Structure 1
Amino acid sequence: MDLRLTDTVVLVTGASRGLGAAMALALAAEGAYVVAAARSKDSLAEVAAQGGGRISAVEVDLRDEDSVRALVPEVLARHGRIDGLVNNAGIAPAGKFATQDPEIWKDALTVNVIAPMLLAQAAGVRMIEQGGGRIVNVASTTGLRGKPFLVPYSTSKGAVVRFTEALAAEWAGKNVQVNCIAPGAFVTDAQKAVTDSPELHAKRIAKIPAGRMADPSELVPLTCLLVSPVSAFTTGATFVVDGGESGKL
């Protein structure tokens, strides 16, 4: 299937490693021009070097509103348009709720909710001017069901799901599709403590009907489809990719 991504322009946040890097590389392989954004300059450069000239890197700190607000204008300065936005970056502070500092909550909400909102607003306005576009928000299965010791993360990712639905309804008539992906357990640096421990790894995969954790490459076909104009009638949906974990009793 031709996803009609050739020469489209897509911004991917959190693109220096893990899921974000896999998404950026896959979109570039489909012919898109990708602006890969993250805090890590060196890691971004490594991703861009693999993109066949179709990935450019830009540093951004999602905790800094000025940095976030400058991102979409930078994409437009480089390419003159923006056809897709993948809000992938996020943080997952862990700890006991009873003793958590409110600053931890502010940090999680700033990175996981406010930054995607600002980027969706800036990108979406330009997409509407262009005649359409697609926004993909990356949530988590912990945004669908609460998880102990990850209360700020779970709360913020639940907000991302509702944000996706509400914005999709508001912009559907403007040919801007807004969808959400909720990944489960993937083998990334964020899961290193689990994957490096045979005991923790065994406990983790015991919860997954598929009997394993996923590779980041297994998320990219769905991402490319949702960023593609061929999915123009799909909006306001949350796609769960978790090996059946959230669907079992």
Structure 2
Amino acid sequence: MDLELKDAVVLVTGASRGLGAAIALRLASEGARVVAAARSKGALDEVAGRGGGRISVIEADLRDERAVAGLADGVVDRHGRIDGLVNNAGIAPAGRFADQDPAVWKETMAVNVIAPMLLAQAAGRHMIAQGGGRIVNVASTTGVRGKPHLAGYSASKGAVVRLTEALAAEWAAKNVQVNCLAPGAFRTDAQRAVLDSPDLLERRVARIPARRIAEPDELVPLACLLVSPLSSFTTGAIFVVDGGESGKL
């Protein structure tokens, strides 16, 4: 299927590894001009080297509000427009809530909520002015159902879900679609502690009806479709991709 992404300009955050890298590479293979953003310049360059010349990089720390606010403008300065934004970057500090330092929450909210908000705001202005665009926010199943020892992460991803719905309703008439992916357990660095422990992995897989951890490429096609013009009547949707974990009784 042709996703009609040839020469579409898409900004992907957290694109140096895991889900972000996989999404950036597939978008490039579909013909998009991808701007990959993350903190690790070396890792970004490695991803760009696999992108067939269709991925450029921007080194950015999403805890820096000024830098975040200028990312979308930088993409437009470089390419003349911005057709898609994938807000993928995030952090997930774990810990017992009773003992957690408020500073951990502040950093989590800065990266997981404030940065996507600023990016959506800046990109959205350009999209409205140019006649449309698409935003995909990557949340988590913890944004749908909170998890113990991940209170801050759960709260931040829940905020991303509600932000998605609010922006979708506000911008639908402007031809800007805003949707959300809520992935479960994927084989990325975020699951490293589980993947490296046979006991933890066995217990984690036992909670998933599909009885396995997903590969990053299993989220990518849906992400690309939501960035594509083919999804022009899909907005405000939350797509849970977790092998049935959230839906089981």
TM range (shorter): over 0.9
Q: Deviations over 1:48-74 (max 9, x none)?
A: 000000000110101001110121111
Superposed counterparts of 1:1-249, under 5 Å: 1-249=1-249
Unaligned runs of 5+ in 2: none
- 1:119, distance to aligned residue in structure 2 (A): 0.3
- 1:78, distance to aligned residue in structure 2 (A): 1.2
TM-score (norm 1): 0.99
SS at match of 2:160: helix
- 1:11, distance to aligned residue in structure 2 (A): 0.1
Aligned equivalents of 1:66 and 1:24: distance in 2?
24
Aligned equivalents of 1:50 and 1:56: distance in 2?
11
TM-score (norm 2): 0.99
Unaligned runs of 5+ in 1: none
Q: Counterpart of 2:139 in structure 1: which amino acid?
A: A
SS at match of 1:230: helix
- 1:2, distance to aligned residue in structure 2 (A): 1.4
- 1:109, distance to aligned residue in structure 2 (A): 0.6
Aligned equivalents of 1:105 and 1:188: distance in 2?
23
- 1:189, distance to aligned residue in structure 2 (A): 1.1
SS at match of 2:243: coil
Q: Deviations over 1:136-167 (max 9, x none)?
A: 00000001001000000000000000000011
- 1:103, distance to aligned residue in structure 2 (A): 0.8
SS at match of 2:46: helix
Aligned residue pairs, count: 249
Identity of aligned residues (%): 76
Q: Counterpart of 1:188 in structure 2: which amino acid?
A: T
Q: What RMSD over aligned residues (CA atoms) do the two structures have, in Å?
A: 0.5
Aligned equivalents of 1:44 and 1:74: distance in 2?
17
SS at match of 1:7: coil
Structure 1 residue ranges (4+ consecutive) displaced by more than 6 angstroms after TM superposition = none
